[in-house]
Homo-oligomer: A and B are copies of this chain.
Amino acid sequence: MPVITIEWLEGRSARQKAQLARAITEAFVEAAKVSPEQVWIVFRDVARADWAMGGKLLSDR
C-alpha cells in the first residue's frame, strides 16, 4: 500500500529509475511484508531552474 514519491533533479536515465524501482520494491517487500504489486513508485524529475538551495536556483549556481 505504500506510495513512494521521489523528487530529484532531472537527468537520470530510464535504466537508473528501473534499478531504483526494483531495489526499493524489494526493500518494502522484505521490511514491510507487502506484495510487490502494492508498491507504487512515482518519479518526479525537477529542472535545475525549479530547484533552489542556499537561496539560489541551481541553474544560477
Contact = CB atoms under 8 A, between A and B. Distances in A.
Interface in A4-47: 4-9, 12, 14, 16-28, 30-32, 36-37, 39-46
Nearest to A33: B16
A30 to B, nearest CB: 8
Contacts of A5: 4-5, 7
Given A1-B40, A17-B50, A40-B52, 12 more contacts: A3-B7, A12-B32, A18-B56, A21-B52, A21-B56, A23-B26, A23-B31, A24-B24, A26-B55, A37-B53, A39-B55, A43-B52
Interface of A: 1-9, 12, 14, 16-28, 30-32, 36-37, 39-46, 49-57, 59-60
